[in-house]
Chains A and B, each alone.
Chain A
Amino acid sequence: MCTTTGFIIETVIKLLVILLVFSALAGFATYIERKVLAFMQRRLGPMNVGPYGILQVLADGIKLFSKEDIVPQNSVKPIFKIAPIIAAASAFTAMAAIPFLPEFTIFGHTVQPIVADINVGVLYVLGVMAIGMYAPLLAGMASSNKWSLLGAARTVIQFLSFEVVTGLSIIAPLMMVGSLSLIDINDYQAGGMQNWLIWSQPIAFILFLLSGYAETNRTPFDLLEHEAEIVSGYATEYSGMRWGLFFIGEYANMFTVAFLVSIIFLGGYNPWGFIPGGIAILLKVSFFIFLFLWVRAAWPHVRPDQLMWLFWKVLMPIAVVNILITGLLLM
């Protein structure tokens, strides 16, 4: 019984830490995003609240919390209220199977920084993250607003496009590793930079990264809330903290994708030269978060038909050929 109690307490602490850390990081990432975009566009970005505008996050948070909560009269109210919760909940649920850091010891107690080490980790994370696409879909369909409905229709298109490429691109590296557990994938790449899967699977890496951008609704695939075309897409009718939950979900998903790419293709939390493993993975994740922002500053949006063309006619055949070649080489 004592071990069970200990296990429960440990799991609850892990859950709380993940929830708090990534909620805070989501807020902080908005500040970083505005700063990076500003520097790339030769502006200053937020400057007035605190030194270099660093307290802007707090100001935004106060604004979001104290804003009037509007539910449109003709909307389907229960679904309208559930949708933002799905966005945040699925994003954090997906994190349950990600090993964030290497094992470490605290007060003589070995901690594995993963909530649930299930042996189908990769599939679980991808599946639950994909469920997050229900949030914009339900939001758009429940708002009874034409722009929102267009956003919902685009959600379906996007979901049906990226889901195939995500699955097919990840198969090739998984065939080499022979396991679906993220810890096994990480251990497979132990022993230095030359063992990283990106060198043997560069095509899978690019495909997975592209579908990760579509999965998190980031530019160039952010057609769900394309300001210039459909006002704000699915989020048009949302305000205050309900909108904030969508936002937290999106940023939490960005971190999930960054962690996934780092673990699957870039050696995860193995020591990188003289850099210890824990810091190595944080460096990789920071780079991918920066890449998300960099791409947003540098690339235009795509149209829905271009998205479908890209994923179904270009990326999917490449992914299939990649699996075929990997299979032939492994034989």
Chain B
Amino acid sequence: MFSLSSEAKVGLFVLVGLIILGYMSVQVGKQTLGLKKGYTLEVVFDSAAGLDRDASVQIAGVEIGRVESIRLQDGKALVRLRIVSNVKLEKDAIASIKTHGILGDKYVEIYPGTHGETYLAAGERISRTERQADIDKLLHQLGMIADDVRGVTSSLNRVLAGQAGEEAITSILTNTKDLTRNLNHVIVSNEAALHAALENTRQLTGNLNRVVTQNDEKVRQVMDTLKSASLEMEKTFAALKEITTGINRGEGTLGQLVKDKGAAEKLNQTLASLQEVTQKINEGRGSIGKLVNDDETVRNLNEGLTGLNRYVNKAEQFRTFLSYRGEYLFDKSDAKSYLDLRIQPKEDKFYILGVVSDPKGRRTTKDVTVGNTPTVRTEEWDRDGLLFNAQIGKRYKDLVLRGGLLESTGGVGIDYMALNDKLKLSFEAFGFGRDRRAHLKTGAEYRLFRHLYLSAGWDDFVSDQDNRSIYGGFAIRFEDDDLKYMLTTTPIPK
């Protein structure tokens, strides 16, 4: 048999061993071999938590380098990257630390900059970094949320646990059930009535509309009449009250009647028969009953409700605001009040109607011409006179333009809404006249609470009548739903 000397055996073994070692080294060192020649770049991260030396540096998932060193610099992590020489990074490249999956290794991801920018040279710094969702922070927040949830559930548990809670829930459910059944009952029983009522309302409002528009003068008379009527009513009520007190005490015939047992018995019987009737209706007996239980009626009702819905939606969009503003004019030591109704049929459109009480009052001028003498204009101030506001406005994003009557004179205004509409900066110009400078007003209004606003500004600041004044004040503004429904043009269902 062919036999090897020990030298040959050792030589062969060493050879094989070195080949294996070389193979493994090449396999493992494949990526790193090219890196030795690469160039270094620096990048500063707020935190390099989890990033290790020799961590991968990648663009679009392709490794282009390794982390060479991580040092602390001014409380931040200065990371030096070694990049293979054939990859160039633009000056506006962005570096961020990312993670392979949730539990994976951290690595540096680089978003190459815009094409055509100058390249970063060796040793330069990547100035733009991107903060990465920190998994630790995320977990921490999740933990806090879980705590909150637990708190809620535990208090719920406390409330619901035990017999008391159970009973409470049971009774709530029972009540709800009864309520819905009753409601159902009411609706079903009164379908026709509802239908008719709606129709009537429509007609009524239509008529009303017509009446109001056609008979302005008459309305006023009616209102006057109503006013006096209401005064009469008041007296009537006072009398009524006296009477009912009398009845209660059993005075007079009515009082005796109420106190009388027999009468009460009769009343009871009446009510019983009434119940009988409704029962019959319910069971579909009699003509009313049929009507109530008729499918078509139900369909009509449904349609009616749909219409109602649409109407309500429209009304929903339609918003009205009432506001009161008071401004104290520091230089005049006097106050100015505004009462405005703001009608906003659409989000970006509104009308303002309002009155203003100006301490100066309403100015009226009279031109008196006597012969050839020059016209003499006399001014009169009516201290109790009210000024009027009537403006239309439109909003473009944060900018509001409005115009119309401002304090009874023609004018325009512009508002800038900032901080989510919390702050309003406004400028108004009105009162243009030939004999005097225009009334300019600028100011800011800040929403302090839900309905309360603080305002400050400079009123009439170009006045040649010595009217300029710094002002400060407040406003109350709220949305008024009742007005809204009254003002909404009544829609026609269907």
Question: Does B bind A?
Answer: no
Which residues of A are in contact with B by a Cβ distance under 8 Å? none
Which residues of B are in contact with A by a Cβ distance under 8 Å? none
